[in-house]
């Protein structure tokens, strides 16, 4: 019959203490990141970490809903920049038309240019749109877009006027008739993948020199009530 005591060896000496299991630390996740399976949807499709992970592995960010991002950026701001293939950019006032609006065809940005309106050069079939953040005013996304000109003979002319006219403030005279005879309406439709967006911006600042314009004050500086800070009244530059 064995005379061994619990916790002792065959000769009766106490057995050496066993080390306690190591506790998980921030560098030892309780569960590893699990790669998404083929055909997975929802959180599994983004490669989300298994529940209980405490760190040690980079968790991919969820995908961006590009359609929703473009719609929000274009609808919350009435200003965008059109970039031409030669690299020049042109700020334009626009009206964003989404799928929920029965007027016109969307989602797209409607732009009117010409005498009495904003200046805009001839647009090729493919341009880039730079949309800004309503909160910061900075560049938010850059996306490819098709530029389509609508003429008064087109069936889409009247719907396009219906989209633009309510948002055209301080207009003088018959706006629709003036647009018909002397202005151009473009429909800018975004498509494809983002050129720039959250998390993937280029290093360039996008700063460009201001183009000369006849509306700039280059000579006589008008008199200001109360004077002008740092300058004398009624002086020439």
Q: Tens digits of per-residue pLDDT, 8-45?
A: 544 444 555 555 444 444 444 433 333 334 444 444 43
Which residues of the chain are under the pLDDT cut of 70?
1-64, 99-106, 213-221, 228-237
pLDDT in tens, 155-173: 989 989 999 999 998 888 8
pLDDT confidence of residue 98:
78
- R_g of the chain, CA atoms, integer Å: 32
Per the domain annotation, does 163 fall within a domain? yes
Gap between the Cα atoms of 30 and 107, Å rounded: 46
Give the CATH number for residue 192.
2.30.110.10
Q: What is the pLDDT of residue 177?
A: 94
Residue 57 has which token pair? 């592995």
pLDDT of residue 55: 53
**pLDDT at position 188, please?**
96
Q: Is residue 42 situated within a structural domain?
A: no
Q: Is residue 40 part of a domain?
A: no
Q: Residue 90 is encoded by which pair of tokens? A: 């042109």
Report the distance separating Cα 16 and Cα 14, nearest Å. 7
For 34-58, letters b (16+ CB in 10 Å) and e give eeeeeeeeeeeeebbbeeebeeeee
CA distance 53 to 34: 10
Q: What are phi and psi of 132, to 5 degrees?
A: -100, 165
Residue 134 lies in a domain: yes
Question: Taking the model in full, what pTM does it have?
Answer: 0.63
179 assigned to some structural domain: yes
List CB contacts of 176: < 8 A, sequence separation 6 or more.
161, 165
Domain range enclosing 87: 66-196
DSSP 74: H
Domain count along the chain: 1
> What pLDDT does 138 receive?
85
CB 56 within 8 A of CB 117: no
Question: Which positions ≥6 away from 88 have C-beta within 8 Å?
Answer: none
């Amino acid at each position: 019959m064995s005379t061994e005591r619990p916790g002792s060896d065959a000769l009766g000496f106490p057995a050496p203490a066993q080390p306690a299991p190591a506790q998980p630390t921030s560098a030892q996740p309780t569960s590893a990141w699990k790669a998404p399976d083929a055909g997975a949807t929802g959180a599994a499709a983004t490669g989300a970490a298994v529940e209980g992970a405490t760190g040690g592995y980079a968790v991919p960010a969820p995908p961006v809903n590009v359609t929703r991002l473009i719609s929000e950026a274009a609808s919350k701001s009435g200003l965008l920049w059109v970039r031409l293939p030669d690299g020049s950019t042109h700020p334009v006032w626009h009206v964003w038309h989404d799928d929920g609006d029965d007027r016109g065809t969307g989602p797209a940005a409607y732009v009117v240019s010409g005498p009495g309106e904003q200046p805009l050069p001839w647009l090729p079939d493919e341009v880039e749109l730079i949309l800004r953040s309503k909160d910061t005013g900075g560049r938010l996304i850059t996306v490819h877009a098709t530029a389509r000109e609508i003429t008064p003979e087109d069936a889409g002319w009247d719907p396009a006027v219906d989209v633009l006219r309510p948002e055209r403030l301080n207009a003088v005279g018959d706006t629709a008739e003036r647009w018909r005879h002397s202005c151009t309406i473009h429909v800018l439709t975004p498509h494809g993948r983002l050129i720039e967006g959250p998390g993937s911006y280029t290093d360039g600042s996008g700063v460009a020199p201001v183009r000369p314009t006849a509306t700039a004050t280059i000579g006589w500086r008008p008199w200001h009530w109360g004077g002008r800070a740092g300058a004398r009244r009624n002086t020439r530059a």
